[in-house]
Each structure stands twice: as C-alpha cells, then as structure tokens.
Structure 1
C-alpha cells in the first residue's frame, strides 16, 4: 500500500478537524471526529512528509485543546493516543513544546492536577517523557514547568505514575544538564518522600532518578539523600540494594565534586561488598576497583613511590585478595572521618545496623593495614563493647576485625593498650579481643611479648572472675547434700530478692543489682514463681516511664525471657494470673505509650514482645485475655504502625491471639475497629508482617462464623472481600507463576528466600475462610475482579472452592 501524502491526508482530515473545533460540537460528535482522525493517522501508512506537514501544523493544537479541556475522559484518551503516536514519528517533537507544556502543567502540575484518571495521568507523563527525551535543548525554557509537574507526580497516589515521573526526571536531567542544576534541588524532597514506597519497583526507580538528578544537578544535594540511601541498603529486595550500589559507584566515578564526598560515599559502596546476593557483591567490588584505579591515575605523582614498592606483607591473611593501592589509599586517607560514625553504629540499638557496621569495619581495616595504628584507642574501646553483643554475627565480625589488628599493628602497641584495659575493667570481651589479636599476629613478632602476656593473664582479677559463680553454687549445694543449686534458690529466694532490691528505687543501667536480679530470676527456674510478689513489685517500681530507659530495656528483656516459658518460671505455682492487673496497668501500659526517640521505640518493642509472650504462653483464661484487650487494645493497634518490624509483627500476632481466644465476645463496634489496622499491614514492607496480617484476618473471619453480629457486619465483610481481591493480584506475572508453582513447597519447607511469595497464597486462604459468611456476595466480587486481574488463577481457584463448598455432600 502506498504511503499517504500530505495533501491527501490534509483533505481526509479537514472534515473531522472542522467538527472537532466547531463551537457547537457535542461530546458524541467530538468522539466521532477523534475516531475518524485516528482511522486516518494510525491505520494508514503515512509518508514522513505527511507527518511533518500535517501532524505538526494541523493536528497538534486541536488535539492539545481537547486534551486540556474536554470533559469526556474517552475524548482526552483518544487525543493523548494520537499525540503520542504522531510525536513518536515527528522529526522535531520539541517544536510542540510551546503548545503541549502548558497543557501538561495544567493537567498534572501542583497543587492538584486537573486530570482525575490515573491511566491518563500516566499517559500524560509518558508524553512528557517523550518530549524530554527527544526535545533536547528546546526543553530549557520550560524547565520550571517540568520540575513543577514532576514535584506533584512524584507524590501521586498511583504507583505507575510515580515510576514514570522518575523516568521523566532522569530524561530532564540528561536533556539540559547545563540548566538543570539550577532546579535540581526542588526534586530532592519529593524523591526522598517516595524512596520508601511499599512497591519495590518504585523504590528502584526513585533511587535511579536520585542518581541522575544529583549527577547532572547540584552535588550539594548528596548530603540530603545519603541517610535515605543508606537505609535502602537494608532493603529486603536485592534489586533495591543493587540500585543503591550502582548510583553510589557512578557518583564516586563521575560526580563533579566527588573528592569532597569520598568519606561519605565510600562506606556505602563498601557496605555492599558484604551483600547476601553474590551479584550485588560482585557489582560493588567492580565499581570499587574502578574507583581505586581512577584515583591512582589522577594522583599518580603522589603515589609513585608506593606504586614502585608496594609489596604485600608476608603474613597477609590467607585466602584474602589484597585490594589495589588506590583502594587502600582512599580508605587510609578517609578512615579518620569514617571511623567515629561507624563505631557509633556498632553500638546502635537496631540489630541490622550493628551487623552491617561490623561487616564494614572488617572491610575497612583490611584496606587500612598499618594505618590502623593511629586509631587503636577508638577501635579497641568499640570492640570491647561490640564483642558483648547478643547478635552472634556482630561478635563474629568484630573478632575477625580484631585479628586484622594482630596482622597489621605492632604487638608493642596493641598488647600494651589491651592489657592496660584489664586494670580498669576486665570484661570477658577484653579477653576475646586479646585472643583474636594473638591469633592474627605472626608468631615470630609475638614471641618477645609472651612472658608479659602470661603475667597479665595469671592475675587473680583476670583469671578468677565471677563467671565461676555457677560452678561454686553447684559445689555449695553438694556440700549441703542438696540435689542441685535450684534447691539453694528454694531455701533463700526471698532473702536474695530482699537483698538485691534494697536500693531498687534508684537503680540505673549501670547498677550491678540489675545483673544480679537477672541471674536470680533466670537461673532459679520454677523457684522464682514462689517469690512472685516481691519480684513483681521490683518490676513495677523499676519499669516506670521516669526510670532509666536502658535499665528498663534490660528488665523487659528479662521479663520477656521468663514469659516465654511462664509455666516453668514465674507461673510455676499458678499465681501469675493474680498479678495480671499490675502487669497490664502498671508495667506494660505506661511503657507502650508513644514517646519520641530511639530508646523509647526500643522500649515499646520489648514491651509489646512481652505482651505477645504473655498471650502466646496460653496461661490466660478468656476473661483474662479480655482484660488485656480492654486495657491495651489502643496501644496494640498503635504498635502495628511502628517503624520497628518486630513491633508491627507482634501487634498483628497479639490481635490474632485475642481473636482466637475471645473474638466471639466482640460486638460489631469492636470488630469494626479491629480489622482496618490489620488490613493496612497487607501492604507492609516485611513479608513476615504481611503473612501474619493475613493469618489475623483469617481469625477475624472465623469470629463471625455463626455469630449474632454477622448481619450487622455485612458491609465490612464486603469491603474486606474487595480489598483482599486487590491484594490477590500482583503486578509481576513472574511472581504469580512462582507463587502457583511453589505454594506447597513453601508451606512444607518455609524457605526463607521465598517468604515474599507466601502472602499471595494466604490472601486466597483468607478469602476461602471468609467465603463461608456470604458466598454469593464474594462470588459477585470475584467475578467483577476476574477480568481486571492480570492473572486470574487465584480468582478461579476461589470460585471453584466456593462452588465445591456449596455442593451437597
């Protein structure tokens, strides 16, 4: 078929264009005119001359007017499709900017764009992206309008609009870099508001956009985004962590002011070399090697002597590849700026932060080699504390780091500093660090110091520590012809608690009595249940909000440990329920109240963990569980919205536990207030929380089975059906296929790497449970959703289940 020429196309379009632009043209007529234009433009082959002469000169303006002001959504949609089709084929789409940018700013710009349809907002941004990518420098005069559009679109409720706005931000930065730097800071705030979005693909796109916005914009914005990017290195999705690694690597190679930010960027890139995913580790090392080589070339004169005589130490750790000279020099020259913050993170209250910091410490010391010497006091002080960590991985990484001290630092320096610590406070962790340093030291260098080491270790204050106490207790019980040390506790538990609690009203986290109470409570086993009155009164006094926060954390940890085996410890005599009111009102409730700060958040987490242990141990009667619910339900609901994953997880579990025990005693008001907060957790970033929320909703449905309030809850049930059906449809067909193929395997193996898939299976299971209540209503909702879902497998599965359940046996 011959291509349609300009004259022929202009003639064919004259009538629909006339109709489209006529003042009396109604909706139906406009729609017919647009359909006729589409038939001519999209369904016939056009010559390039026709596109240039007719589309650019005759079609752009009327289509833009239609897109800007037509009340009919279908007309705006057709106009948008025609513009995208035509501009894709135009040689100079940038010439349409004066016409289209005002329209895009009107439909998408702040404070609230005029376009209500999500799909059309997405299409409008795709049109903007096309203009940015192909418009080149013609975009410059409209940069303010573009940035205003992106500021609003980056915060759009529709995830796909946010993703497209990120791509537009990248295109804008690349189109006019010489002008973009003046506007780039305006995009940083909305990007950072979106970087923690619940959809991981949005997070990936935001990170990539942030990289381009700063790369081509104002480098000063690095400080505004670093903390957010560092947080994404803890993201559960490997692709998100990979995106962070990529942009940090690119900045270290190409950012104009990169030398000013080396001390801030290097820890982030090196933090990725210990990633759980091998591909991410390889990517980080590849970038790091490039950065080191580039820095070597840029500073070749300063490094000439070191390049000529850089020989690895003969006692270098076996099986470890020595980093390149440029990499080693970069770390050594920036270590004094990096180390203080890293040491602070090693004692952070968040476990993941401490683990990441301990991994990074080893990598940094491996690079720094003998430059470690000038930082020994800070390093050792931090290692002593970190080696007491409850997380074994933190301790393991810190011990490896201490071995590097032995490898690279002279024993004359390291041993003098470590042994002097024994004179001040001989902790077990000091011995751990010393042992690691000895293991890492070459034998021939360590030999002259062995005598002094032996003298230090043989001192009574070092070799005869309190760790011998338990063995002594066993010996004392044997002397008294008792069957074990528990009988010693049985004889003296009341006197022990009286002795340890003399000054309990003024305890702090540094009070030795805290450790003594910990040992008494946890080592006495069932005997502590015989002194419950005294023990609870100590807790009541010490766990008030005005007491030392770190002390409260320690005591809550002790209480949580006891509650996990309550019938073998504090409830061994069956007396604990009589103290339930004190535990709930005087201990848990005050500490579950929200207060600002990390320590306050950690206390709320431990308190809610204690509450879960209290419910999970199943020693409460239904009326006692109702007492917990009546006193603490607002705090439990609030816990499900905490930053802490553990708090959200425990909150969901507690609600589920309460529903199982006494949910049938809830009225319609109580049931109606319970499920919305649980439903929100189906969007949680953590797969564990999403899974637990799904289980809890199943328990909620079970409460309504054969219940008197079932009819009063019908509208709530219908809403739940609709929401769960939305969650049932994942955007990624590969995820759907993986779910279908691995459901049973996941249930049997509980494979950790695939935990993200499990909730989609449980969404189906929740709906199956809920289908018992109003099967006809659910069938209608499923049939409505069936045609909207990308993969209808779960919907068909539900329909089959409902049909089977309704068939007579």
Structure 2
C-alpha cells in the first residue's frame, strides 16, 4: 500500500475513533471502558497494515498513556495490552519512547509505585521488556528512567514482577552496554536484597541479572555480590546453584577486569566442582577447563619456560585422579596466598554447609597447587587442625582427604619439621589429638621411598612420654594408633628398624584405653611385617628393652603413673616370654613394691602378680627361673608388705600381698625346701595376719597357713607347730563362717603334720588344750561346724602319736 493510501486509511480509522477518544475523558467508568474496548476492536483486532498501524499508534499514544492512570483497572489493563501490541507490530516503535518512557517511569519508577495492581505491574514490565527487545540502542537516552524503574521493580513485592524485572535488566544491559555501565552499580543493592527470595525461580532470575549487571558494569561491585553468590552455592535448589556456576564461569571468561578478581571468583567456580548434582559438577569442570585454557593462551609468553616442566606430572601423583590443566594450576598457584586466609576463616563458619563446602574446596585447591602449597604450609596446617575438631563428620573427612594430598605433594622433611613439634606440644589443650589426626593423613599420602628416611624420627616422637602417655581420651589414643597403622601400611618391612618404638606406643595405648581391642590389630600387623609368628614373639624380641624402658623411671612411679599400667600389659600379654627375663623383672618389682612406695600402686601390682603366680608354669616360671628367685622375692618383697601398719589403706595392701603369697604357694613356684628355710620369717607374719580387721585378710592368712602346712607341715619342729594352732583356734570364733571353715581345715592339716617327733607325753598339755577347745564346738549352732569338728576328731583318733591323749580327754 502506497504511503498516501496508508495515510488515508489511517485517517479513516481515526475518524471512526473520534467519538470513542472523546469518551475516554468521561467521568462514567462504564463509558470509558466501552470506549477503550471499542478502540481496541477498531485497531488491534482489525489486523491493519504496519504502515496504517504506525500512523494510528502515533495518534493514539497520548490518549492510551493517559489511560494508564485511569482509576478503573480494566481500562489500565486494556491500555497496556494495546500499547504492547502496537510496540510489537509497528515498524518504528522507538518514536513512542519520548512519551512512553516518562510515563512508565512515573507509574513504576517512583519511590511509591503508582500502579497498585500487581498483575498490571507485571504486564507493564512485560511491555517494557518488549520495548527493550524491539528498540535496543534507541533506549540509551532513557538510561535514568530505565534504572529508576528497575531499581523499584526488582524489589517489587510480587515475585513475577521481580522475575520480569531481572529479565528486562539482562536485555537492557546487553542492548546498551556502552551506557549501562555508568549506572549499573545502582542495581546491585536491590538485586542483593532479592537474591535470597523464598521462590527459587526468583533467585535464579536475580543471579542471571546480577551476572549481566556485573558483566556490563564497571566490575567494581564483585566484592559486594561474591559473598551473596557464595551463599547461593548452598541453595537447596539445583537450578539456583547451576545459575551461579554459569554466571561465575562467564565472568571468569569474559569480564573485562577479571584478572583483578580471580582470587574472588575462582573459589566460587571450584566449589561447584564438588556439587552433588553431576550436571552442575560437570558444568563447573568444563567452565574451569575453558578458563584455564584461555588464561594459558593469554599468558603463553610467561609460561614458555615452565611449559615442559609443568606438563610432567610430579612423582607419586594420586592414582585415578585427572591432573588439572596447566592454566588451571597456575591460576590457583598465583592466587593461593589470598585464598588460604579466606579458607581458614570459612572453615570455622557457624553454618555447617559453609564448613562442608570449604573443606571440599580445600582438596580441590591443593590438587591444583601441588608442591606450591609448601610455602603456605603453616596456615594450611592450622586450618586442618581446626577442621579436624569439627563436629560435622563430612568436614573432618574432607579435610583429611586434603591433608593426604598435602602429604603427597609436600616433601616429608618439610611438613614433619612443623608437624612433629605440634604433636609434641599441641597448640589446643582441648583438642590435643588434632595434630595426630593430620599427621596420620599426611603420612598416608606420602610415598614409601620418601618416608623411609624419616621413620626413626617419627617413631621416636610418637613414643615420647609427652606424646603417648600424656592423654587418655579415646579419640587421642585412636589417632595415635592411626599414626602407627599408617606407618606399618606405608613402610611395611622397613618398620623393623622402629619396631621397639611402635611396640612401646601400642603398649601405652592398650594400658591407657578401656577398649583393649583397639591396638590388637596393630600389634598383629607389626608382627606380620616382621614375619613373626605371634605377639609373644614380638615381646620376646623386645622384652629386655621394654623392661629397661620401665626401669628407667621406676623410682618415680605412683598409682597415677602410666608405667604401672604398661608393666601390667607387658607381663600379662607376653605369656611365657616373661619367664625368660625374670632376672630383669625382679629388681623392677623389688623397687616398686617397697613399703614406702605408693600403696595403691603396690595393691594393683600385687593383684597382677597373684594372677600370674597362679599360672606360674605358663608365665613367670615358664623357664624354671622364677623358682630360683622366689625365696628372695618372698623375703624382700612380700614379707615387708605384711608388716602391720595402721590404716585401711595399709590393710588393703596387706590383703593384696597375702593374695600374692597364697598364689605363690598354690602355683608351685617355691619349693618346700625354700619355704622351710624362711619359715621362721614367714610364719610370724602370716599368724599376725590372722587378726586382720579385714575378713578377706583373715581368710587369705588361713588359706596361706593351710598351704604352708600342706607343703612343709611334717618338716616343722614341734615348737614351730605349737605356735600355729592357738592362733587357728581363735579363728573358730570368727564372725565369718568362711574363715571358721578354713581355720578348721587348717587345724586338720596341723594334726596331719604331727610326726613321731611330736611326743604326746612331752606335748600333752598342747594336745589336751587343742582337743578340749575342739570338743566345745561339737555343740556349735552351725551344724556344718559341728560336722567338720567331728570329722576332724574322728579322722585323727587312730593317729598313733596322739591316740592316747585323745582317749584320755574323751
């Protein structure tokens, strides 16, 4: 259609609309509504040609814009609909901008938004987005109006308006980048206020808009948005995390001043590599490769000298792990100094999600940094110590994985210099096990050839009293064992050179821990790497040194000394091996069991010895060597501890010593001949013990007398025998029925011990007194005592040496 024809057609249309246009000014709402709907039917609905439509639009623009402030919602809705259609269909929509933009700025960009209906605000924003799409650069003069509108609508209460505003922001930024950057900064605040909106789709839109604002802005606001984007990496919605990954990857590739912000942006993208959603993880990894490749090309001259060296993987690189590209590694290395302090801060954040993501990122960074992490070793170790004390298991496991990488890339002579000092003197008294946990992880990452020269230094540190004896927490002891286990698994047969130190650690752990099974596997593995058949063989190999180790400190032992517990573990677990080293053991026992030593310590050691002496043939006397020492042991160790002293503690010590004496007599470790030689020293102490306040003490004394009589009764002279029975008779009135019974048994043994040397005529008064006393108990209230007394009298009635005297009495 020719231009003249189009103008004529347009005039005809407008002539037909004249009355309706006048009706738009009427006070009656229904009249205005009918008028604007009629205008729509006569224009938009008639499918007019673009030229005619352009002419009609130019004539209707002002009346329609005036309708945007009409009190009736339906009129405003129709006006927005018509304006949108005109903008979409006319060939020159930009001609409407001088009138359209001020009107929209007034309706949407004022401090108090003029349009009350949220659906109409959405329609108006959609119209503005359409305007940006069709007008593009023509909107440059209206930058202020656009920014004012977007500032308000991004923070609009209606979620769909927020989303549409973000969409409009992206399109506007791309349409006029050369002008947009001048005021882009003013959109950052409303975007960051909206980025945590409860609707995930709004959060996605805000992140996309933020990407455009920063990309086409000055770039100076990255610091303001980075922390907000970092929080969105923990978002429950995968789409939100994906949006962050895309935006950050795009910035790293295309941001004009990206080199200044690598230290801020790189952690955000690398964090997404550990995302639980494979799609996001792969997307982040692909973006990161592109960033590294681009940086490598842009800095090719600087990398020329390093190219060959940096392309060769370091020795002992973790198996099954793909090595990052050269550009990626260099980017991390050059920014690591600024990243490590941030990691140290975030790994103690109050949010669990932040700590978990930071710990994951730490492994990724160390994998890229490789041996360059050496220069940051001190703060890295401090970070790992803190992370290992976290209550969240994922944080701990992630940081241990990072520590293992650190052990792979940092030479052991470097990390051991720092780490072993921290093991010896932990910086945190409340978490002393943290350095041990980190040490175990680093050793696990270190290779055998590099670790071998340092085995002695490590083992000596672990075996130091301040390290292996200072703390009794189960967690500390577990980490101590973990260090031993990793040494055994990493170095295997090379551990033969430090077998003693490792055994000392295992003995200490087992002595301090309430769960002995903890160290059993470690001890068995220590045997395996040395091709030893059993743990007893391991003890045989080191028993002399172990006893020397304990003897060095025996003068200072107390009930709180770990050495007392170590002695218990060594002598009980070594089985028959301890019998081969009696000559080394006896001076140790004599020293720590002197009467002036700690009473509680002596009690526990006597109790331990009692158990061993009951099975002496398989323990202390397995080689027949203890028998040669038993007389000395009895005189120098047991008897001094049987001397009466006031107090309950002293009584408890005497009871423990009596139990040890009884075990010695029962176990067969002392011969009758040896016992006969020292009977003069032994009997008075045992007879004295018959009057102990402790029932158990009296019982032990009675049983010990029975054993003495059984072993050497017939060899005792009458005078020695006559000292025994009166004390036993006193026990027949004991408050304990068990003591009375044992005393009667001992009296029976006493009677069995009378030989022809015991003349009835010479010792008749003693026998008469004995039988007279026994007869009294035939009327005892306890029938079992009556029976036992009767059996004793009847059993010995026919005994030749006493028969006459017994009959005279009866």
TM over 0.5: yes
Aligned CA RMSD, in angstroms, stands at 2.1
Report what 1:466 is aligned to.
Answer: 471
- Tell me if structure 2 keeps the 8 A contact 1:5–1:46: no
Report what 1:403 is aligned to.
Answer: 404
- Tell me if structure 1 keeps the 8 A contact 2:13–2:56: no
Q: Deviations over 1:152-186 (max 9, x none)?
A: 11111111111111111112211211111111111
Q: What TM-score, normalized to structure 2? A: 0.56
Report what 2:379 is aligned to.
Answer: 378
> Are positions 1:156 and 2:130 aligned together?
no
Residue 396 of structure 1: how far off its partner (Å): 0.6
Q: Deviations over 1:367-415 (max 9, x none)?
A: 0000010011111122122112111111111111111111111111011
Aligned residues: 471
Residue 340 of structure 1: how far off its partner (Å): 0.5
Moved over 4 A (4+): 22-25, 468-476
Report what 2:450 is aligned to.
Answer: 445
- The aligned runs of 1:567-606 (5 Å cut-off) are none
Report what 1:54 is aligned to.
Answer: 56
Q: What TM-score, normalized to structure 1? A: 0.56
Q: Any idea what SS the aligned residue of 2:273 has?
A: helix
Q: Quick one: distance in 2 between partners of 1:17 and 1:354? A: 70
Q: Deviations over 1:681-740 (max 9, x none)?
A: xxxxxxxxxxxxxxxxxxxxxxxxxxxxxxxxxxxxxxxxxxxxxxxxxxxxxxxxxxxx
- The aligned runs of 1:216-295 (5 Å cut-off) are 216-295=216-295
Q: Quick one: distance in 2 between partners of 1:35 and 1:350? A: 57
Q: Quick one: distance in 2 between partners of 1:452 and 1:259? A: 44
Q: Any idea what SS the aligned residue of 1:274 has?
A: coil
253-262 or 439-448: bigger deviation: 439-448
> Are positions 1:428 and 2:433 aligned together?
yes
Q: Quick one: distance in 2 between partners of 1:385 and 1:61? A: 68
- Tell me if structure 2 keeps the 8 A contact 1:19–1:25: no
Q: Quick one: distance in 2 between partners of 1:47 and 1:5? A: 8
Q: Any idea what SS the aligned residue of 1:71 has?
A: coil
- Tell me if structure 2 keeps the 8 A contact 1:173–1:180: yes
Q: Quick one: distance in 1 between partners of 2:225 and 2:238? A: 20
Q: Any idea what SS the aligned residue of 1:12 has?
A: helix
- Tell me if structure 1 keeps the 8 A contact 2:51–2:90: no
Residue 12 of structure 1: how far off its partner (Å): 3.4
Structure 2: runs of 5+ lacking an equivalent = 478-509, 516-810
Q: Quick one: distance in 2 between partners of 1:120 and 1:474? A: 73
Q: Quick one: distance in 2 between partners of 1:38 and 1:394? A: 64
Report what 1:306 is aligned to.
Answer: 306
Residue 423 of structure 1: how far off its partner (Å): 2.4
Q: Deviations over 1:662-695 (max 9, x none)?
A: xxxxxxxxxxxxxxxxxxxxxxxxxxxxxxxxxx
Residue 328 of structure 1: how far off its partner (Å): 0.0
- Tell me if structure 2 keeps the 8 A contact 1:9–1:40: no
- The aligned runs of 1:7-406 (5 Å cut-off) are 7-8=8-9, 10-21=11-22, 23-24=25-26, 26-55=28-57, 57-67=58-68, 69-309=69-309, 310-406=311-407
- Residues 104 and 474 of structure 1: CA distance in aligned 2, closer, same or farther (over 3 Å): closer
- The aligned runs of 1:567-716 (5 Å cut-off) are none
Q: Any idea what SS the aligned residue of 1:91 has?
A: coil
- Tell me if structure 2 keeps the 8 A contact 1:6–1:51: no
Q: Quick one: distance in 2 between partners of 1:473 and 1:458? A: 14
- Tell me if structure 1 keeps the 8 A contact 2:105–2:146: yes
Residue 286 of structure 1: how far off its partner (Å): 1.1
- Tell me if structure 1 keeps the 8 A contact 2:347–2:387: yes
Residue 6 of structure 1: how far off its partner (Å): 5.8
Q: Quick one: distance in 1 between partners of 2:433 and 2:82? A: 75
Q: Deviations over 1:166-215 (max 9, x none)?
A: 11111221121111111111111111111111111111111111110111
- Tell me if structure 1 keeps the 8 A contact 2:333–2:372: yes
- Tell me if structure 2 keeps the 8 A contact 1:13–1:40: no
Q: Deviations over 1:39-77 (max 9, x none)?
A: 23333332222223322x22222211212x322111111
Residue 465 of structure 1: how far off its partner (Å): 4.1
Q: Quick one: distance in 1 between partners of 2:433 and 2:321? A: 29
Q: Quick one: distance in 2 between partners of 1:452 and 1:25? A: 98
Q: Any idea what SS the aligned residue of 1:320 has?
A: coil
Q: Quick one: distance in 1 between partners of 2:468 and 2:314? A: 35
Q: Deviations over 1:188-245 (max 9, x none)?
A: 1111111111111111111111110111112111111111111111111111111111
- Residues 463 and 257 of structure 1: CA distance in aligned 2, closer, same or farther (over 3 Å): same
Report what 1:545 is aligned to.
Answer: none
Q: Quick one: distance in 1 between partners of 2:349 and 2:164? A: 37
- Residues 349 and 66 of structure 1: CA distance in aligned 2, closer, same or farther (over 3 Å): closer
Q: Any idea what SS the aligned residue of 2:390 has?
A: coil
Q: Quick one: distance in 2 between partners of 1:298 and 1:18? A: 68
Q: Quick one: distance in 1 between partners of 2:265 and 2:301? A: 24
Q: Deviations over 1:338-384 (max 9, x none)?
A: 10111111122221111111000000000000001001111112212
Q: Any idea what SS the aligned residue of 2:169 has?
A: helix
Q: Quick one: distance in 2 between partners of 1:404 and 1:323? A: 14
Q: Quick one: distance in 2 between partners of 1:94 and 1:9? A: 19
Q: Quick one: distance in 1 between partners of 2:231 and 2:98? A: 41
Q: Quick one: distance in 2 between partners of 1:48 and 1:161? A: 30
Residue 10 of structure 1: how far off its partner (Å): 4.1
- Tell me if structure 1 keeps the 8 A contact 2:10–2:55: no
Structure 1: runs of 5+ lacking an equivalent = 477-809
Q: Quick one: distance in 2 between partners of 1:296 and 1:337? A: 21
Report what 2:660 is aligned to.
Answer: none
Residue 275 of structure 1: how far off its partner (Å): 0.8
- Residues 294 and 17 of structure 1: CA distance in aligned 2, closer, same or farther (over 3 Å): farther
Report what 1:594 is aligned to.
Answer: none
Report what 1:508 is aligned to.
Answer: none
Q: Deviations over 1:405-450 (max 9, x none)?
A: 1111111101121111122228222122111111111211111111
- Tell me if structure 2 keeps the 8 A contact 1:137–1:176: yes
Q: Quick one: distance in 2 between partners of 1:118 and 1:25? A: 25
Residue 98 of structure 1: how far off its partner (Å): 0.6
Q: Quick one: distance in 2 between partners of 1:104 and 1:173? A: 18
Q: Any idea what SS the aligned residue of 2:221 has?
A: helix
- The aligned runs of 1:412-423 (5 Å cut-off) are 412-423=413-424
Q: Quick one: distance in 1 between partners of 2:331 and 2:54? A: 55
Q: Quick one: distance in 1 between partners of 2:29 and 2:13? A: 21
- Tell me if structure 1 keeps the 8 A contact 2:20–2:38: no
Q: Quick one: distance in 1 between partners of 2:457 and 2:191? A: 59
